[in-house]
Chain A
Amino acid sequence: MSGLLIEGSTGTWEVVVGLEVHAQVTSNAKLFSGASAEFGAEPNSQVSLVDAAMPGMLPVINTVCVDQAVKTGLGLNAAINRTSVFARKNYFYADLPQGYQISQYEKPIVGEGVVLVDLPDGSTKEVGIERLHLEQDAGKSLHDQHPSRSYIDLNRSGVALMEIVSKPDLRSGDEAAAYLTKLRAILRYLGTCDGNMEEGSMRCDANVSVRKAGDPLGTRCEIKNVNSIRFVKQAIEYEARRQVEVIEEGGTIVQETRLFDSRQGVTRSMRSKEHAHDYRYFPDPDLLPLVLTEERIETIKASLPELPDAKKQRFMEAYGLSAYDAGVLVAEQETSGFYEQVVTSSGDAKLAANWVITELFGQLNTAGKPIAESPVSAAALGQMIARIKDGTISGRIAKDVFAEMFATGKDADAIIEEKGLRQVSDTGAIEKIIDDVIAANQDKVAEYKAGKDKLFGFFVGQTMKASQGKANPGMVNEMLKAKLG
């Protein structure tokens, strides 16, 4: 149970959350113009006359943006609407040059779907998708460049967004965070959005309300533009407690838009603003209904990659991994790809999982590096694991070898040679060390023979130490057993 229950003075409250995610479609050009959709550039340099809403300019839709929306819909197990309609959402704003946003209203391109969310306690939860629609991004207003003026840059204006609306199925900040994490993973697997929340290519609005168990939905507040998964969790938890407090003090919740202040960890009403929101949606007469053929949908379906849920299942079945390990490895497409390369080059799926999850992730974490920048390649890690398996090095020595690989980028064989770390598997050499250890510890031998079995580990340790860790631990065990009787 990962739902957040708030104990108030009048009883226990449940939190109800639905998320609206704006995900920037991965494409070269904008949704309705031929200007570049790339991030960051000179102001107003990635703007066509269409994006600047010059008189007489008309929109023409980008075919890849449509395909990406369909692909995402399929990845969300959602219904693809054979006919969808672009509508104008009319309002005046500095960074909205047309005076309307081209969006989809009554007939979105994607209908209901479902996402399987992995919760922190290891359980999973189905979260409903209400819809996904395509729409134009707005431009950007800069308010801090001049004391009394705002500066407008239309480079973002007209970039394609997918607005992905969940059902109000989430019950806590944790669940919301887990949903966002999963959604982001799916989008990245699909290649339909890079999921970069810092650059704003994925933005989240949260609709939050509270209610007593079994009651109908309470009045919701919309928290706008929360730009990290951690903040989404914080904002929801703060907002839920605020609402409970307001209600329990005899107040009522007013439906409004609020902003999350990440420095103070609180949500604030976007004062005034509320009056007269009337978007006057109507079908855009510059565009025709978007009709998708079965053939087009099938082609896109055939191009879908293996998604996290299917991959996790396969890792468990094919590699014998635990649900936890499989889940960790599939969270990012790069990680799962890296892991499978390690499996191929090492020939040992379980060892590969352990080394990737424990050692590689540990080192990457400490170094603050993403897996794409790992100094140890998948092939190199696989080769190192192969050296454990073929007895060249022990598992313990391997940790040192790996640390050295991570620090220098050298491969395992080079390090083993350089540092003389090759494991000793020579019977004669090991026998000699064991004889020396027994000779030096006659008192312990007597105790052992008298029945103090625990001392066996002592002899193993002494032998390994004397060999500087290089003796083959399996052989040491066997030979000690023979010598000590």
Chain B
Amino acid sequence: MTDLTGLTMAAALDGLAKKDFSSAELTAAYVTAMEKARPLNAYITETPDQALAMAKASDARRAKGESRAMDGLPLGIKDLYCTKGVQTTAGSHILGGFTPTYESTVTQKLWDAGAVMLGKLNLDEFAMGSANITSYYGTVESPWRKAGDNRPLVPGGSSGGSAAAVAAHAAIAATGTDTGGSIRQPASFTGIVGLKPTYGRCSRWGIVAFASSLDQAGPMTRSVTDAAIMMGVMAGYDAKDSTSVDIAVPDYRAALDGSVKGLRVGIPKEYRVDGMPAEIERQWQQGIAWLKEAGMEPVEVSLPHTKHALPTYYIIAPAEASSNLARYDGVRYGLRVEGDSLDKLYENTRAAGFGAEVKRRVLIGTYVLSAGYYDAYYLKAQKIRTLIADDFKKAYQQCDVILTPTSPSAAFALGEKMDDPVAMYMQDVFTVPANLAGIPGLSVPSGLSSDGLPLGLQVLGKAFDEETVLKVGRVIEKAAAFSTKPSFLAGE
């Protein structure tokens, strides 16, 4: 039999349809792979029994000719999505033992479409990080290694468990969330596809909030087609989320077949940062060349305020987080460290329950909102956010999509960049502007660094135009024909 875990979702759906294998077989292969992948620490919670039961139900549906869009496909779920009856941790000690009595809207849609849950994937604590090193449940290791160097690498973050699992074939695909690049940057580090949809496209209901005005759920897959399939299931209006937007969900997979001829690709002149490696610049030029070959027209665009995006983000995201994380107080769920007064209970619980990075951001957020500083920091950041969003609106009068590198570097080793928070924050320099502007962004693997590590290109689109983003991403995917596999594969 073929290596079932080597298949893309699209190929697996074909195989299932043709009865080449059952979901039970596919799922069993992934349960084995999930176990084999334990050294990566990609999963916090494995749910093999649930997975096999769901697979069986899927096979039964298929036997009756009632199969659905993602029927029988075994997914990993970022442990930021609340899953009914299955512990949900957000990578934090403070949610220790928390088992939701409810299911997030997006995961419910996936189960309703027939998908199978393998388990809950590791992440940076409360999705705060770019290397998956801040989780209470330990760091996640990338399945990749530099050529001739066996030091463990980070998978990127915060959806590092999702990226590592998908890249190592320990899940056919995974959900991620992206607040400042948390889907796209780990996707580029691990050689997979990651899509951050337009803000409001996917419901946030039931996903542990980090920064409410920036958080978006999205798919992490091994192909652009898979991203289109999964996106079609995850997207949609949800009356339970006041910021979700009520517009019809298009057929993303069908959109991939359209032509890109005549589309204009914007190249932002400000996206060249100091110290950016030459190979990143080369990837970018290569990407432009591929799109040109496909009939697209490159145009230079200007995003003048984009250089302020990162510090702006580091005001807005921590401010919202400081408020969103106030509910973790040891009273209604999760960790409690007793104290002889209620305030002491709060302080002890939160001191023990939050890790260093979360504390850092909660403190920053509290500070920038506090009396006397609000105008100088928070209000100022909100105004700059308007300017950044306006830059994109103007740029999109001249182009249909924008092409940039996803990340300023390839994956780095565990232990690198860890003593300087600002150096770590620089990881998100190319991804953060899309979150601030609310627009969709896709990372597609485009090639290898000189060290043999994956690099990604980012396609940004107009709000709610994921179709064009995916279509252009598919062009890059075809041209790049990226086929290198990480040194560790769980699924063979």
Contact = CB atoms under 8 A, between A and B. Distances in A.
Interface stretch (B43-51, B208-216, B273-281, B389-397): B208-216
Contact of B90 (A49, A55, A59, A278): A55
A142 interface: no
Interface in B357-397: 366, 369-371, 374, 378
A282 B331 contact: no
Interface string A56-68: 1111110000000
**Chain A contact residues: helix, strand, loop or mixed:** loop
Interface string B316-355: 0001101101110101110000000011001000000000
Interface string B242-273: 11000000000000000000000000000000
Contacts of B333: 54-55
Contacts of B332: 52-54, 97
Given A92-B343, A288-B243, 18 more contacts: A52-B332, A54-B102, A54-B332, A55-B82, A55-B209, A56-B82, A56-B204, A58-B243, A94-B331, A98-B326, A150-B342, A152-B331, A278-B371, A280-B366, A281-B369, A282-B319, A282-B378, A286-B243
Contact of B100 (A54, A94, A281, A288): A54
Interface string A294-312: 0000000000000000000
B225 to A, nearest CB: 30
A270 interface: no
A55 B95 CA distance: 9
A56 B104 contact: yes
Contacts of B212: 285-286
6 shortest interchain CB distances as A-B pairs: A99-B326, A280-B369, A285-B213, A285-B212, A53-B327, A56-B206
Interface string B73-116: 00000000110000010100001001011101000000000000
Contact of A285 (B95, B320, B327, B343): B320
A60 B246 CA distance: 14
A137 B183 CA distance: 38
Given A280-B369, A287-B242, A56 B343 contact: no
Contacts of B239: 60
Contacts of B243: 58, 285-288
A313 interface: no
B242 A60 contact: yes
B451 interface: no
Contacts of A288: 242-243
B95 to A, nearest CB: 7
A422 interface: no
Among A61, A94, A282, max chain B CB count under 10 A is at A282
Contacts of B35: none
B245 to A, nearest CB: 10
Nearest to A34: B240
Contacts of B322: 90, 280
15 contacts: A54-B332, A55-B82, A55-B88, A55-B95, A55-B209, A55-B327, A55-B333, A56-B206, A88-B323, A90-B369, A99-B326, A285-B243, A287-B242, A288-B242, A288-B243
Contacts of B206: 56-57
A54 B100 CA distance: 8
Interface in B172-204: 204
A54 B206 CA distance: 9
B346 A57 contact: no
A52 B334 CA distance: 13
Contact of B370 (A92, A278, A285): A278
B48 to A, nearest CB: 25
Given A97-B332, A282-B378, A49 B366 contact: no
A165 to B, nearest CB: 20
Contacts of B329: 92, 99
Contacts of B374: 280-282
Contact of B326 (A52, A55, A100, A281): A100
Among B88, B241, B325, max chain A CB count under 10 A is at B241
A55 B208 CA distance: 5
A286 B343 CA distance: 27
Contacts of A285: 211-213, 243, 320
A286 B327 CA distance: 15
Q: Size class of B's contact patch? A: 35 or more
Contacts of B327: 53, 55, 97-99
Nearest to B200: A288
Contacts of A49: 101-102
Interface string A348-371: 000000000000000000000000
A58 B369 contact: no
B284 interface: no
Contact of A280 (B102, B242, B323, B346): B323
A88 B319 CA distance: 11
Given A99-B326, A150-B342, A58 B240 contact: yes
B205 interface: yes
B207 interface: yes
A106 to B, nearest CB: 11
Contacts of A88: 323
A53 B366 CA distance: 20
Contacts of B343: 92
A286 B242 contact: yes
Contacts of B319: 282
Contacts of A59: 242
A87 to B, nearest CB: 10
Contact of A92 (B81, B104, B326): B326
Contacts of A61: 242
Nearest to A150: B342
A58 B204 CA distance: 8
A59 B243 CA distance: 10
Contacts of B100: 54-56
Nearest to A284: B212
Interface string A103-122: 00000000000000000000
Nearest to B207: A56
Among B208, B240, B319, max chain A CB count under 10 A is at B240
A56 B242 contact: no
Nearest to A141: B342
A90 B369 CA distance: 10
Nearest to A50: B240
Contacts of A280: 322-323, 366, 369-371, 374
A49 B206 CA distance: 10
